[in-house]
Amino acid sequence: MNYNWDWGVFFKSTGVGQEIYLDWFVSGLGWTIAVALVAWIIALILGAVLGVMRTVPNRLVAGIATAYVELFRNVPLLVQLFIWYFLVPDYLPEGLQTWFKQDLSPATSAYVSVVVCLGLFTAARVCEQVRTGIQALPRGQAYAGLAVGFNLVQVYRHVLLPQAFRIIIPPLTSEFLNVFKNSSVASLIGLMELLAQTRQTAEFSANIFEAFTLATLIYFVLNMSLMVFMGWVERRVRVPGLMVGGK
């Protein structure tokens, strides 16, 4: 069989409107970033709350957070996505259901599902990192916070969390990268993010290798930029004289 190598394919017309294949990649990348960033914000906030819950001296509160983590870590991401996209909307209250199924465009409803799914899924992982970070701190820090008159909320806010987050920046970075990679499951419920556009380009143009090589490159560059960004964050919050990750 003859394979027609053609690296110029990205500038050729897709046959759909005025678009060239590169336009598809650009719009795909846009969706990927839009999914990952919003999901990451949800994961960070919820994960921090859950991580704190796992360390408080209250069995019920800690138990709820533990149950959350076990549930979201032991069910495959794709199953969770199907549940959020196919199942949950049917059990929403009447008004919300019509809004989700009829008022939203298919792309928007897929987007909402995948952002919620990925946010809650990643929160379980962030939770475990936050918990590890808090538990890595010397016990005396919590004592000292209480001794100066802080209540429990203030101890977490001013003493424990600022230190814990600094310790866990490296593992958080890899979770941050995972959100971008995991957002590719959105292609399986029809959201035209980067991977879906790649597959479509491969199938439309028959230039499989070029399409997937470009996608790989984009993911690669995306990874590198995120790592550079997180490295910058780490340097910005670095505390002089404090060995991060030590102790």
Partner 1 sequence: MSAMISIQNVNKWYGDFQVLTDCSTQVAKGEVVVVCGPSGSGKSTLIKCVNALEPFQKGEIIVDGISVGAPKTNLPKLRARVGMVFQHFELFPHLTITDNLTIAQTKVLGRSKEEAMEKGLMYLDRVGLKAHAHKHPGQLSGGQQQRVAIARALAMDPVAMLFDEPTSALDPEMINEVLDVMTELAQEGMTMMCVTHEMGFARRVAHRVIFMDKGHIVEDCDKESFFGSPRSERAQQFLSKILQH
Partner 2 sequence: MDFSQIVPALPALMEGMVVTLKLLVMAVLGGVVLGTFIALGRLSSNAFLSGLAKAYVNYFRSIPLLLVIIWFYLAVPMLLNWITGDFVPVGAFASCLVAFMMFEAAYYAEIVRAGIQAISRGQVNAAYALGMTYGQAMRLVILPQAFRKMLPLLLQQSIILFQDTSLVYAVGLMDFLNSARSRGDILGQPHEFLIFAGAVYFVISYCASYIVKRLQKRLVV
Give the binding site for partner 2 (CB under 8 A): 1, 3, 70-71, 73-80, 82-83, 86-87, 90, 177, 181-182, 184-185, 187-188, 195, 198-199, 202, 208-209, 212, 215-216, 219-220, 223-224
16 binds, among partner 2, partner 1, none (CB under 5 to 8 A by kind): none
Backbone phi, psi, residue 20, to 5°:
-105, 165
Per the rule left: phi > 0, alpha: psi between -120 and 50, beta: everything else, 15 is: left
Report the nearest approach of partner 2 to the CB of residue 98 (Å): 19
198 binds, among partner 2, partner 1, none (CB under 5 to 8 A by kind): partner 2
Q: Residue 154 or 225: which CB sits closer to partner 2?
A: 225
Query: In sequence order, what DSSP letters do the residues of 9-29 get, joined into one string?
Result: GGGSB-SSTT-BHHHHHHHHH
Q: Residue 17 or 140: which CB sits closer to partner 1?
A: 140
Report the nearest approach of partner 2 to the CB of residue 21 (Å): 16
28 binds, among partner 1, partner 2, none (CB under 5 to 8 A by kind): none
- Residues found near partner 1 in the complex (CB under 8 A): 138, 140-141, 143-151, 154, 158-159, 162-163, 166, 239-243
Bridge partners (DSSP) of residue 20 are 13
Q: How far is 237 from 240, CA to CA, in rounded Å?
A: 9
Q: Residue 160 or 195: which CB sits closer to partner 2?
A: 195
Q: How far is 172 from 43, CA to CA, in rounded Å?
A: 11
Q: How far is 241 from 166, CA to CA, in rounded Å?
A: 13
Report the nearest approach of partner 2 to the CB of residue 174 (Å): 9
Report the nearest approach of partner 2 to the CB of residue 20 (Å): 21
Report the nearest approach of partner 1 to the CB of residue 55 (Å): 17
Among residues 162, 198, 185, the alpha carbon closest in space to that of 78 is found at 185
Count of C-beta atoms within a 10 Å radius of residue 101: 13
Q: Residue 150 or 212: which CB sits closer to partner 2?
A: 212
Report the nearest approach of partner 1 to the CB of residue 239 (Å): 5
Q: How far is 197 from 188, CA to CA, in rounded Å?
A: 12
* Helix (H/G/I), strand (E/B), else coil: 76: coil
Q: Residue 150 or 204: which CB sits closer to partner 1?
A: 150
Q: Residue 88 or 146: which CB sits closer to partner 1?
A: 146
Q: How far is 138 from 149, CA to CA, in rounded Å?
A: 19
Q: Which residues contact 184 (CB under 8 A, 6 or more apart)?
A: 32, 193, 194, 195
80 binds, among partner 2, partner 1, none (CB under 5 to 8 A by kind): partner 2
